[in-house]
Amino acid sequence: MDLKKSILVIDDEPSICKILEHFLKNDFNVVVKNDGSEGMIWLEQGNSPDLIIADLQMPNLNGKEFLKIAKASNIYADIPVIILSGSDDSSERIQCLNLGADDFMLKPFNPMEVHAKINAVLRRNARYS
């Protein structure tokens, strides 16, 4: 039985997806989707990751829109979300956190920090306490 936690990475930049997948695949099952609508479709197919990492700026369904939909749903509301953004705009960060994001990371990021943040978010998430 696979006890690895699963992480859904939603980002339209292939290089970011590759970095995250590379650094996280030893400890997590990583699923990559290229935009928010692909991520939502995957969730709606009955998949339930332990954590979602979503980019703020994406085509079709951006990180904020994705957050709104996910957090409004009874099924996905308790899945923690870390938002990635290339913009250091604190109003964007505040909006995301107010919409229910569990954490916010700026690009470029240190993959080890992403890993540490994932572990911290999973530790404090009620699903695992």
Question: Domain residues for 43?
Answer: 5-124
Would you say residue 89 has pLDDT above 80? yes
Does this model's pTM top 0.95? My answer is no
Asked, for residue 129, whether it belongs to a domain, the answer is: no
Asked, for residue 95, whether it belongs to a domain, the answer is: yes
The larger pLDDT score, comparing residue 3 to residue 114, is at 114
Asked, for residue 78, whether it belongs to a domain, the answer is: yes
Give me the CATH number covering residue 66: 3.40.50.2300
Asked, for residue 93, whether it belongs to a domain, the answer is: yes
Would you say residue 128 has pLDDT above 60? no
Dist. CA 101–CA 80, nearest whole Å: 7
- Predicted pLDDT at 126: 54
Query: What's the domain count of the chain?
Result: 1
Distances (CA, A) of 56 to 11, 12, 45, 53, 93: 8, 10, 23, 10, 10
Asked, for residue 98, whether it belongs to a domain, the answer is: yes
